[in-house]
A and B are shown apart, each in its own frame.
Chain A
Amino acid sequence: MSNKIYDVIIVGGGPAGLAAAVGAKKAGAKDVLIVERDISLGGILEQCIHPGFGLKTFGEELTGPEYARRYIKEVLDLGVEYKLETMVLEVGDHSVTGINSKDGLFIAEGKSIVLCMGCRERTRGAIMTPGTRPAGVYTAGAAQRLVNRQNMMVGKKVVILGSGDIGMIMARRMTLEGAKVLAVAELMDYTAGLTRNRVQCLEDFDIPLLLSHTVVEIKGNKRVEGVVIAEVDPATKKPIEGTEKLYECDTLLLSCGLIPENELSKASGIKLNRITSGPEVNQFMQTNKPSVFASGNVVHVNDLADNVSEESERAGKYAALYAAGKLTAGAEIPTVPGTNVRYICPQRVCPTEPATLFFRAAAPQKNVTVKVLAGEKEIFSKKLIKINPGEMEKVEVKPEQIAGATQITINVIAN
């Protein structure tokens, strides 16, 4: 590698990395590098061939590859450098160690770093589904890549465990490709993904959604021959004896949640949040290490690529300002999830600048009021018809509202 010192180095070229690069360039960064492990930029968007992207960002409905292409074009037009098929091994405060077959092992130096590694799916091992270990058990995203990018059909009779968005989208995709989807089983008593996906992916095709159900056994030796689904007690989530039913199928797809991919962050001493499993950040998406920023699903799993883009452009912008010496640190106020709030991102707010607080409810609830407190003082409230953990909410706070507060709390309270 040359002796060049980049202004901003971005780890990952998916929706977060692309938007971070755009944000950094627009904020004046001269030399920006994206390091990506896949064969192309775009990340997971390349296999998300369904529509529903871009309504917020571009005001029109695009598919994943089209959405990615808009950002890739902008990244190329702005002169961002990138390396493909390159694995990052280590992230330092001002450097990224990577390896690929062209450069070999290299260290790239940067004034600031943005972590955009995204997330990965929970596997069968992670959810500990009992039974034999035959072929035919896939995570929904792995099946999506095989079907949508590699022209390989993964099965004919399918059961899906988990009602995450990818699972529901794959239920529709498999049905359109000629497979029979017998059921989508969901452990919780509500859908994990977006309502619109329940409607257009399951209800449109009469695919049964079994809430408060889970797979208790996988059967088959070489190939999946069936799965046993049982009802669970909504309070304990334990299977109810006597409710087991065998579904004869050749494929089980798992859509059981996503985990931010933070091995690199952990190894470099970035402080992670227990609930989100991602780095704790302020509204500039700055981690506990001032030169290291993070955005997108590596921080917290978003429902929408549009949100990832917005948050990542912000991360890129502030990483560029940091690189230019224009972002100075000060005292910060912690945000605290209150009644029926699972988490808030950012976890810290710099009180001299406005901040958007993104948060998720802990449980679905109807007719609620969202109340934001600075210390003991209520600074904002809004009524909602419903709140759903699958759909992220946000509130804005201004410097004059939070000045002098020791903490900012969000509560969701029944009307």
Chain B
Amino acid sequence: MTTEKKIICIICPQGCNITVKGDAEKGTIDSIEGYTCKRGLAYAENEFTHPLRILTSSVKTEGSSAPLVPVRTRTAIPKELLFKGMDEIRNITVKGKVTCGDVIVANFLGTGVDLIATGSVEAI
């Protein structure tokens, strides 16, 4: 079924109003209007057919200089996996030294995207 969806782009603070027409279930797009950059075009395509978000949170540490180390999915993952991702993150404890960029979980939730550290802690 052809539908029209109005999307506000979240890639940058400009917040462009983009209109996408197509069949979301089949994943086909007839037209995209209102985007002003390539990132916005890609965002609108995904947002119409399969919304993606970067998940950021923090994981517990043990024997480290701070109680938590922040983490993120390296790139965006399907939006519907955010809460499942949080359940997974809640069960993770890292030990000792962690360096910004370290892979905390490879292929997070089978998405093909790694969960990486976005901060550093020292071992104590």
**Does chain A bind chain B?**
yes
A residues apposed to B, CB below 8 Å: 46, 49-51, 55, 61-63, 65-66, 69, 148-151, 176-178, 194-196, 198-200, 204, 303-304, 391
Whether B15 sits at the interface, judged by CB under 8 Å, is yes
Are B67's CB and A63's CB within 8 A?
no
Cβ–Cβ contact A50 & B56, under 8 A: yes
A-B CB contacts (within 8 Å), total count: 76
16 cross-chain CB contacts under 8 A: A49-B58, A50-B56, A51-B72, A63-B56, A63-B70, A65-B100, A69-B120, A149-B66, A149-B67, A150-B68, A195-B15, A196-B11, A199-B15, A200-B53, A391-B13, A391-B15
Chain A residues within 8 Å of B70, by CB: 49, 63, 65, 148
Q: Of the candidates A49, A50, A150, A196, which one forms a contact with B8 in the assembled complex, judged by CB atoms under 8 Å apart? A: A196
Q: A194-B15, A195-B15 are in contact. Are A51 and B100 (CB under 8 A)?
A: no
Instruction: Decide: A196 near B13, CB < 8 A? Known: A51-B72, A149-B66, A149-B68.
Output: yes
Give Cα distance in the complex from A391 to B60, angstroms.
35
Q: Using known A-B contacts A176-B83, A194-B13, A199-B10, determine if residue A150 contacts B119 with beta carbons closer than 8 Å.
A: no
Known: A148-B70, A151-B68, A204-B79. A304 touches B13 (CB 8 A): yes
Q: Name the B residues within 8 Å of A49 (CB-CB).
A: 56-58, 70, 72, 118-119
Tell me which residues across on chain B come within 8 A of A391, comparing CB atoms: 13-15
Residue of A nearest to B67 (CB): A151
* Contact residues in A for B8 (Cβ distance below 8 Å): 195-196, 198-199
Output the least CB separation between A350 and chain B (Å): 29
Could you tell me how many residues of chain B have their Cβ less than 8 Å away from some Cβ of chain A? 28
Contact A176 B86, beta carbon cutoff 8 Å: yes
Q: Does B104 count as interface, using CB distance less than 8 angstroms?
A: no
**Taking CB as reference atom, which chain A residue is nearest B72?**
A63
Give the interface centre of B13, B57, B72 by most chain A CB atoms within 10 Å: B13
Residues in A neighbouring B118, C-beta threshold 8 A? 49, 62-63, 65-66
Q: Which residue of B lies closest to A197 (CB)?
A: B10
19 further contact pairs, Cβ within 8 A, besides A55-B12, A66-B118: A49-B56, A49-B57, A49-B58, A49-B70, A49-B119, A63-B72, A63-B118, A65-B118, A148-B58, A148-B70, A151-B60, A176-B82, A176-B86, A196-B9, A196-B13, A196-B15, A200-B10, A303-B13, A391-B13
Asked whether A61 and B54 contact (CB < 8 A) given A176-B82, A391-B13, the answer is yes
Contacting residue for A51 out of B56, B79, B86, B119, CB 8 A: B56
* Minimum distance in angstroms from A215 CB to a CB of chain B: 27
Q: Inside 8 A of A303's CB, which chain B residues have their CB?
A: 13
